[in-house]
Chains A and B, each alone.
Chain A
Amino acid sequence: MKKVITAGLSFAMAASMLAGCSSKPAENSDSGDKRVLKFDSFSGGNGEEVFTKLAKAFEKANPDVDVQLRFEKELPDVLNKENAKGEYSDVVYYNLGQPSGYTETQLNTHEVLDISDVVEEVGMDENYANSSIVQYYGDGKSYLMPLKTTPAGFFYNTELVGEGKKYELPTTWEEFWALGDQAKKDGIALFTYPTNGYFDNTLNALLKETGGEELLSNVLNYDKDAWNTDGAKQTIDILTKLVSPDYLYSDTVSNANAKDGFTMNQQAVIDGKALFMPNGDWVVNEMADTTPEDYHWGLLPLPALEKDGERFVGSMTEQVWIPAQAKNVDDAKAFLKFIYSDEGVKIMAEGGNIVPTTHMSDTIAAMEDGYTKEFFSVYDTASAALGAFAPYNTDNLPDFDRAATVFGSIDSLATGELTAKDYQSKLADAWVKLSKNKAVTE
């Protein structure tokens, strides 16, 4: 009898230890019989307020839906774990081009819902609707929906650079470098970058400037000769010069590779140690705590190649998408449409976020004076460059890291490990590989 009890007890012990591992998250009790819409968002520079407002307004319009917002700094880790358990969000706000590549992976494994019907219906600006961001596979179907757009050029201090200020605002690259030489004499660097990833929009704009839409599209779509063109060479030369010791703020690479060190590089611009950096409108909020009151941000499109030449600025978008296995697809689609509705656009605009609708210029015009309006005025003098890298078959090229090859190498250019020529041949080699492994839709 004793033996049986001993065995039974030890079994119970083992079982109870194992039971602890399989606890299910408690169901949200106050959702009642409402339909739950799970909105999972990357927690970044845009803050949470605007989404909370959007959710409230959506719930008001759809009383039987309960929007459950969640903000996570390490969103891919959280979602990967949940996906492994078979749980999926209904709407995900996570951008392309992140180091984790979560959105790209979900697209490559066909875990993103085709939302062509939504995109068609909402009245999205054509430049965006037809871009490789929305139509990720270039097959005419839409998968990602831009939540907001913002011009992403070179940010600077208008109190330091501008008309009647200490430094003249450059309009051509020649003037830009001359300004760099002038600033250097005062002990100020011309340029810094938060991290190498911030070059994405700059690269788009540069490629469009040096080789037109054709070059930009060839690069984004892995044309094997794209990097061997004159335009590409010019782009690489400009990039190399930007990060050369003559013009780059000396602590840039160290800071860029420290945890959260990107803020230190951004602070360098605020403190007047460096004049320009590639960034987006979120930098205003991100750095608000350490920005002096008399400081004012400005946004410079890329300087022109020649006097009176055409100027370009990268158009950054942030994307939302619906997982293919989402439980509540109908409400998810309704929520995306709501973002593009008049009310949604208004709520977004109140938070300084511009939704790329067909009437976005009206939205901007109707806004109060402020940074958003000022930043968007950049389009008065510069054309937009936008697009995302086409998908490729990661299974066949597991050792290839596109972000490290394209943008990571910029750190090596800055430290002098890599020359412009090496960088160009590195990219050209990579593009040959990529052109053979372009992903096709099934």
Chain B
Amino acid sequence: MNKKKAQNRFVFACLAPAVILVFIFMVIPTIDVFKTAFFKKSNFVSDATFAGFFNFKVLFNDMRFIEAMQNTILYVVLITIITLVLAVLFATLLTREEFVGKNFFRVIFYIPNILSIVVIAGIFSAVYQPTNGILNTFFGMIGLSSLQQQWMGNPAVINYSIIGALVWQAIGYYMVMYMSSMSSIPENLYEAASLEGASKVRQFFMITLPLIWDNIRTTLTFFVISTINLSFMFVQLTSEGNLGSEVALNYMYNNAFAGKYGFGMAVGVCIFVFSFALSAIINKVTERDILQY
């Protein structure tokens, strides 16, 4: 009995530091965000006047906020779909197929992931630069001048340019995640399948995909979180949300730290609820019986 008690105390003592830290740096600030959203407040130190749902009422009639949420949803959906397909494809090729330079490609695909988003923004500024940029120069060289674009200056394409950059940086990370779970699938399953005459494509859909499904589910949540975060940083470093490329976090940041702290926190609350809801929905929708091998 005494030993049990001692064990409990030990567990408590071990967990306490983490719990305290999470409480101070996560729980309290989050509560504070929710509280501040109901106040008119200019910055950290200014007086706050209680305003009820005023900030939210303004927010839901604010075209820029609506644009920001639309873009955020567009980014989450497109980046997730494109990255998922490409990452699974590359992962399959790099684990299941034998070809020259396999390891070289592993490294190449992973490199964008070790770069900071600041560097990526720099790289893509150079890629998308209208006159001297790699992309326009390349199109000009192969005689496709008609495809040349103001990649970061045309409201019709700017969002897709940003999505392109973010997909480029995300593929490596997810590819490695999928590769790790693919390589743990026992080889004999594939051997049996090929003896039965299953094609590579069929093997992929019947064996690989179901067995990495749990892994894909986990990464879907990552997609939501990282897209919301990284698109903010990328936009902040390039277009600053102009020309129709506003995203939710950037809008929050630009308000919260430009004299509209309370309003910015109201945006924050919406993003918080949105991310939570989206992750929960994705989790629910993708629920399957977990297959074991």
Contacts and interface: CB of A to CB of B under 8 A. Distances in A.
Interface residues of A, number: 48
B110 interface: no
Interface stretch (B8-16, B70-78, B179-187, B211-219): B8-16
Most buried by B among A251, A257, A411, A412: A257
Contacts of B16: 10-11, 14
B54 to A, nearest CB: 8
Contacts of A100: 257-258
A3 B122 CA distance: 55
Contact of B65 (A80, A256, A396, A399): A399
A80 B40 CA distance: 17
A104 interface: yes
A412 B158 CA distance: 13
Interface string A396-413: 101101001000100110
A259 B59 CA distance: 28
Interface stretch (B86-94, B237-245, B269-277): B237-245
Given A395-B42, A408-B242, A77 B257 contact: yes
Given A10-B16, A80-B44, A398-B255, A257 B155 contact: no
A157 to B, nearest CB: 19
Q: How large is the interface on B (under 10, 10 to 19, 20 to 34, 35 or more residues)?
A: 35 or more
Contacts of B244: 417
A17 interface: yes
Contacts of A404: 64, 242
Contacts of B47: 109
B153 A398 contact: no
A250 B14 contact: no
A258 B58 CA distance: 30
A84 B9 contact: no
B162 to A, nearest CB: 11
Interface string A407-441: 01001100101000000000000000000000000
B152 interface: yes
A97 interface: no
Contacts of B242: 257, 404, 408, 411
Given A7-B9, A101-B259, A398-B262, A253 B150 contact: yes
B141 interface: no
B3 to A, nearest CB: 11
A76 B263 CA distance: 18
A84 B243 CA distance: 33
B58 to A, nearest CB: 5
